[in-house]
Amino acid sequence: MEIKQHIKAVALTAALATGATIASAQDKEPIRFGLCFDLSKSYTFISPQVAQAAQDLAMYTNDNGGIEGHPVEVIVRDHGNEPQRGVECYEQLKRDGVFIFNFLSTPVTNAVMPRAMKDENLLMQSFVGRGDAVDGEVFEWVFPVGPTYWQQAANDVAFIKEQLDGDLSNAKVGFIYLDYPFGQEPIEILKTLSEKEGFELELYPVPLPGSDQSGAWSKIRRDKPDYVISWLLAGGHVVASKEMRRNRFPIDRYLTSNWLNEVDIANIGAEEATGILRGTNVAGGQEVPIVKTMLETYYADGKGSGPESLVRDVYYNIGMAIYSAGFEAARMAIKENGWPLTPETMKTAYEALSGYDANGLMAPLSVTPEDHGGGGKTRIEQWDGEKWVPLTDWSAEYLDVVWEVIKESSEKFTVE
């Protein structure tokens, strides 16, 4: 089947057929991706969007001939953010022949990781999990494609340095975070950069679920940091916005992790949120070619994999980024080595992704056997009251510092 010109323009390589027909794709063995997600407890503010994006991309791919003629099958299961359930999901799908997995949860990913590495199955770990897992020489079967929290935090410090005329020696940077592994993840990098650049780092832990921040913001009012980096989630940003107003802290000095979406902006209030800063790993909005194509191809006819509202959410774009890279790796593997697709050929293909950005969906990825993250680039965006405006180009800063910490950490890891 010839692909229509408007679909060709999307240039999402993994989703494009190469002369194969839809019928032939359905006749061949499928490529299976196992999505064991938390669909019922802690991460329901993101997991539906990511799962829906994966299913939409699979549908689009299959409608256009599959990946080198093979259909994609996305298998979604719920682990409720419980490590044991995640392990059970892994073992069940493994018995069914799945060897490419994603768990979208740091505790579950960490629980499954030793098994996946022993089994030599691929573990997709984008935007969650261990920061040192980008070290491909140690974590051979783990692919945290995209920036880790460590690299994102380092890029945030670089942005603050630029705003302060290139000198952090007299600066004070606050870090407000949920006091559990997700929130604690960037602390080591921030402390290392504090020593390197000479700025004062103030830590403001917040108990789960993030609804009680009054003590932290009272301290922030007294300490008067130049900027506050935030590792909060969902409603935590809404609480923080109220505390910022109460304590007269400027919202344009509040720089969040990538976990701030359209729902959070609506809950804060579009006008009230004006000026808020976000470090991001994907391009937001619906003008991104592949997202626009999904809306025009499926959602305009009510044929999407879920509600259209979830497509109009940056977390949907994150899902598209994760799986477009995975589908592209599968395409490269089959094209180079033929069928069957195996963990070994998939691994080699992932490690050969070079300059891949899914037509502007994310920062260009260049994955190598040594760097399974792809370069760690992020950018800073600011909410202008109606939309996100990029303030920086995609970049990865302090790479030497981050990789020194990565190596120190990864060398302590053993599968046992």
CB 97 within 8 A of CB 70: no
**Strand 100-102 relative to strand 122-124, pairing:** parallel
Whether residue 206 is predicted with pLDDT greater than 80 in this model: the reply is yes
Cβ atoms within 10 A of the Cβ of 323, count? 29
Q: Judging by beta carbons within 10 Å of its beta carbon (0-12, 13-18, 19+), is residue 96 exposed, middle or buried?
A: exposed
- Structural domain count of the chain: 2
Tell whether 174 and 204 lie within a shared domain: yes
Q: In angstroms, what CA-CA distances link 43 with 32, 112, 259? A: 23, 18, 11
pLDDT digits (tens, 9 = 90+) for 358-381: 999 999 999 999 999 999 999 999
Residue 322 CA to residue 412 CA, distance in Å, equals 28
With tokens 């470090």, the residue in question is 279
Q: Is 374 part of a structural domain of the chain?
A: no
pLDDT digits (tens, 9 = 90+) for 153-170: 999 999 999 999 999 999
**Does residue 12 sit in the same domain as residue 107?**
yes
Domain assignment present for 371: no
Task: Note the pLDDT tens digit of each residue in 300-350.
Answer: 999 999 999 999 999 999 999 999 999 999 999 999 999 999 999 999 999
Question: At 263, which helix (H) or strand (E)?
Answer: helix 262-268
Whole-angstrom distance, CA of residue 49 vs CA of residue 396: 27
In a domain, 107, yes or no: yes
136 and 19 in a common domain: yes
pLDDT bin (cut points 50, 70, 90) of residue 10 is very low
The reply to whether 272 and 387 lie within a common domain is yes
Q: Judge if 25 and 36 occupy the same domain.
A: yes
Partners of 380 in the β-ladder? 279
Strand ranges, E, within 122-198: 122-124, 142-143, 172-178
Task: Report the pLDDT value the prediction gives residue 313, as an integer from 0 to 100.
Answer: 95
Q: What angle do CA 290, 295, 299 make, to 5 degrees?
A: 140
* 247 and 388 part of one domain: yes
Same domain, 16 and 78: yes
Tokens of 397: 């800063």
Q: Please check whether residues 255 and 126 belong to one and the same domain.
A: no
Whether 41 and 120 share a structural domain: yes
Identify whether 36 is part of a domain: yes
Domain presence at residue 90: yes
CATH number for the domain spanning 320: value is 3.40.50.2300
Within a domain: 373: no
SS3 state of residue 334: helix
For the chain, state the CA radius of gyration.
21
Q: Are 235 and 208 in contact (CB under 8 A)?
A: no
| Cα dihedral 57→63→69→74 (10° resolution) | 40
The answer to whether 1 and 25 are in contact (CB under 8 A) is no
> Among 18-27, 60-69, 246-255, whose mean pLDDT is lowest?
18-27
25-57 per-position pLDDT tens digit:
557 999 999 999 999 998 999 999 999 999 999
Q: Which two tokens stand for residue 121?
A: 């199955």
Q: What percent of the chain has pLDDT over 90?
A: 89
**φ, ψ for residue 83 (rounded to 5)?**
-50, -40
Q: Is 36 left (phi over 0), alpha (psi -120 to 50) or beta?
A: beta
Looking at the fold, whether 31 and 135 belong to one and the same domain comes out as yes
Assess whether 59 and 186 both reside in one domain. Answer: no
Does the pLDDT value for residue 2 go beyond 60? no
Domain that holds residue 170: 150-280+379-410
Q: Examine residue 131 and state whether it is found in any structural domain, yes or no.
A: yes
The predicted-structure confidence for 377-413, as pLDDT tens digits, reads as follows: 999 999 999 999 999 999 999 999 999 999 999 999 9
Mapped onto helix, strand or coil, the DSSP state of residue 82 is coil
Percent of the chain past pLDDT 70, that is, above it, reads: 94
